Amino acid sequence: MDTLQAVEKLAALAQETRLAIFRLLVEAGPEGMNAGAIADAVGVPAATLSFHVAQLVRAGLVASRQESRFIYYSTNFAAMDDLIAYLTDNCCQGGQCLPKTQQADTVAKRRRTLAKST
């Protein structure tokens, strides 16, 4: 990931509603949620949801798929992991970080969970 890609992803997340949507979709896992359920959970009208989700899709953080007459959105976990890796790439200037962060454990745990579910 280059700097411009990281900036685009961070800019998409730098808004309260979009961050809430993204976090909700992370919790939903790889199957994602339909647009109506997301709008209800976040408390925004459908048109507002559409605007914000479009920003997340454009940044590559969220993917969409249509099933019947419903649109489902899900987190692009690979893009999220790439962003986290980019942000922590030069952590502690290449030295060992103390103490080990919980986030690193969480990413590894999620990958194991996703591997088991597929």
**Is 118 a residue whose pLDDT tops 80?**
no
CATH number at residue 78: 1.10.10.10
Kindly report the average pLDDT of the chain as a whole number.
Answer: 88
User: Domain count of the chain?
Assistant: 1
**Is 104 a residue whose pLDDT tops 60?**
no
**Is 96 a residue whose pLDDT tops 80?**
no
**Is 7 a residue whose pLDDT tops 90?**
yes
Q: What percent of the chain has pLDDT over 70?
A: 79
pLDDT the model gives residue 89: 83
Residue-range definition of the domain harbouring residue 42? 3-117
If 0-12 CB within 10 Å is exposed, 13-18 middle and 19+ buried, where does residue 66 land? exposed
| Res. 79 pLDDT band, cuts 50 70 90 | very high
* Nearest alpha carbon to residue 22 among 70, 65, 77: 77
pLDDT the model gives residue 97: 64
* Mean pLDDT (whole number) for 36-61: 98
| Res. 113 pLDDT band, cuts 50 70 90 | low
pLDDT the model gives residue 115: 73
